[in-house]
Amino acid sequence: MHHLSVNSLERAGLYFTVFLTGAAVMIVELLGTRIIAPFYGASLYVWSSLISVTMIALALGYFIGGYWADRVKQTRLAFIIASAALCILIIPWLTRFVLLATDPLGLRVGAFMSALVLFSPSLTLLGMVGPFAIKLSTLTLEGVGTSVGSIYAASTLGGVAGTLFLGFYLFPRIGSYEILMDLSMALLLLAIAVAFYERKRLRFALIFLPIILGILGINLSLQTIRSDRHVSEIYSGGEFFKILSERESLYGWVRVMDQPARDLRLLTVDASVIGAASISHGENRLAYQDIVQLIPALVPHMKRALLLGQGAGHMAITLKDRYQINTDTLEINPAVAEVATRYFGFMPTGKRIVGDARYEIRRLKGSYDLIIHDCFTGGSEPAYLLTVEALEELRSLLSDQGILLLNFVAFSDEGKNTALASVAKTIAQVFPQQLVFISEPGKDFNDFVFLAANHSINLNTSALRLKQVAWLERRQLAVDKGQGMLLTDDFYPLEQLQLRKAQYYRHTLISWLGANILVR
């Protein structure tokens, strides 16, 4: 560009450009976790990968952009922005291929490499915008500090706006792929506006107008199917699966699928199974719940229960049918709450609460005779729900004879697994009494059911039959608490401690379902 000065209107246009591209950076970064999570899980490793890739790409973009800006006679902002838009546009079409290609690399390396391949090209190009804008806005050496500060301030404010707009408005209403295409279209429109500023005018506009119209057409077609896809059959992992429902939610990709050969209906969120029932009769097929259904017999006259992590809702149904216990359910994901009713026949027997447990339990009023803490799956775990502080909040909701039941997935390592021992040690910090049961004896990888209370828990003095007592005693496990660490709101490294578990679970799930079924 051959301007000797930058007037107020042109400067405002530059600030607006970096504001929008700053917003685009954050939108791409946050959407990246939503796109990769259904395959690799919404774990700390996926978040770390996306943040690292974003920082690497921006650093590279700043360097390349600065180097190029100093060596060209005419600015190329329109070209850079349009190239970023096209890189964003192809992400949905590359995702399946890239995720399947990186799967052999394992959880951590695979998540990082898939993020690098899918998102670094567009983020690098968006990072190049800042140096060009600084070059255009800096006329004299005396003004360089103000220009640089203003440009990066505008970009940062754009990132804030993009984050809030995405999280508070777009995510609850629009699918990730649609947001990417809308973002691509917005950037192409911005590129055309910048091209006019750079005196390329009509020629540049005519090149990208068909692309914009094409994106608009794809968006219109996607809007008719985004809420809940139709039933489809998929051959994966050597067997046929019937996908009854799949949808994107605020907390992951929710699927309901049938495996007719096993008479099995599954409820999954991302790469984790949170509910299972027979197709023919609808009864629960998760083994650890066989232990759960015996626990009310330990304390007579239970009337009220709280279930954290509703899943398919089988535990609440069992408590009502067998013991006439009314159960309040607390589920963070509205989509899970909905499909539990639609596909698993769950009907609330108490209050149905949708929200985050740490927030909602502070608003509840006790007392509960039984609290079932079942938020820990084979995939990523909300470790902040298993700290001393969280357990103290739950203890305050228990009646005098109440019991806390907590399900935890881990390796046993003969009762010396660090993660398992940490859970036991943390529970012991809050409750004086504790028992631990293993779901399937003989298996190292298992569901572990913790019972905790302020009073003694004696199997032999309960209403259980002798055969049921013997069945539970065979599953009782001694956990070495000395191998663990105390989990607090200040320090809860459970995800790192459970890395081997997460990798094994994911490998098992892919061996069973096949990698194809986990890719959107």
pLDDT at residue 62 tops 90: yes
166 and 261 housed in the same domain: no
pLDDT at residue 422 tops 90: yes
Give per-residue burial for 421-449: e unless 16+ CB within 10 Å, then b. Answer: bbbbbbbbebbeebbbbbbeeeeeebbbb
How confident is the model over 241-259, as a mean pLDDT?
88
Task: Name the residue with higher pLDDT: 32 or 175.
Answer: 32
CB within 8 Å of 128: residues ≥ 6 apart: 61, 62, 64, 65, 68, 80
Whether 517 is covered by a domain: the verdict is: no
CA–CA gap between residue 69 and residue 76 (Å, rounded): 8
322 close to 349: Cβ distance less than 8 angstroms:
no
> Considering 244, 260, 277, which residue would you say is the last residue of a domain?
277
**What is residue 222's three-state secondary structure?**
helix
How confident is the model over 481-500, as a mean pLDDT?
90
pLDDT at residue 5 tops 60: no
Whether 355 is covered by a domain: the verdict is: yes
For residue 59, what pLDDT is reported?
Answer: 96
Q: Which domain holds residue 48?
A: 8-222
251 and 144 housed in the same domain: no
Whether 315 is covered by a domain: the verdict is: yes
pLDDT band at 228 (very low <50, low <70, confident <90, very high): very low
pLDDT band at 215 (very low <50, low <70, confident <90, very high): low
> For the chain, what is the largest distance between any 2 Cα atoms, rounded to a whole number of angstroms?
93
How confident is the model over 183-193, as a mean pLDDT?
86
184 and 295 housed in the same domain: no
171 and 206 housed in the same domain: yes
Query: For all residues of the chain together, what is the average pLDDT?
Result: 86
pLDDT at residue 224 tops 50: no
Say if residue 367 is preceded by a cis peptide, omega within 30 of 0.
yes
261 and 299 housed in the same domain: no
pLDDT band at 2 (very low <50, low <70, confident <90, very high): very low
For residue 237, what pLDDT is reported?
Answer: 65
**Range of weakest confidence among 3-7, 93-97, 334-338, 355-359:** 3-7
294 and 196 housed in the same domain: no
How confident is the model over 133-156, as a mean pLDDT?
76
Task: Name the residue with higher pLDDT: 381 or 207.
Answer: 381
Whether 516 is covered by a domain: the verdict is: no
Euclidean distance between the first and final Cα of the chain, in Å? Answer: 44
pTM of the model: 0.82
Number of structural domains (the chain) is 3
pLDDT at residue 135 tops 70: yes
211 and 294 housed in the same domain: no
| Closest listed residue to residue 410, CA positions, set 495, 470, 323 | 495
- CA torsion sign, 488 to 493 to 499 to 502? positive
> Considering 193, 222, 251, which residue would you say is the last residue of a domain?
222
CATH value at residue 387: 3.40.50.150
254 and 293 housed in the same domain: no
245 and 374 housed in the same domain: no
CA–CA gap between residue 350 and residue 348 (Å, rounded): 6
pLDDT band at 226 (very low <50, low <70, confident <90, very high): very low
**pLDDT, tens digit, for every residue of 453-476?**
999 998 887 788 889 999 999 999
296 and 342 housed in the same domain: yes
CB within 8 Å of 440: residues ≥ 6 apart: 287, 446, 447
294 and 271 housed in the same domain: no
**Range of weakest confidence among 3-12, 43-52, 341-350:** 3-12
Whether 3 is covered by a domain: the verdict is: no
**pLDDT, tens digit, for every residue of 285-295?**
888 889 999 99
For residue 315, what pLDDT is reported?
Answer: 93
Whether 236 is covered by a domain: the verdict is: yes
Report the percentage of the chain scoring pLDDT > 70. Answer: 89
Tokens of 241: 């699966």
Q: How many CB atoms lie within 10 A of CB 249?
A: 19
445 and 378 housed in the same domain: yes
Pairing of strands 398-411, 368-373: parallel
Whether 1 is covered by a domain: the verdict is: no
pLDDT band at 206 (very low <50, low <70, confident <90, very high): low
How confident is the model over 230-236, as a mean pLDDT?
70
Element (H, E) at 59: helix 44-69
How confident is the model over 317-321, as a mean pLDDT?
93
CATH value at residue 80: 1.20.1250
**Range of weakest confidence among 31-35, 48-52, 473-477:** 31-35
List Cα–Cα distances, 490 to 384, 388, 390, 418, in angstroms: 9, 10, 12, 18
For residue 461, what pLDDT is reported?
Answer: 72
For residue 509, what pLDDT is reported?
Answer: 86
Whether 227 is covered by a domain: the verdict is: no
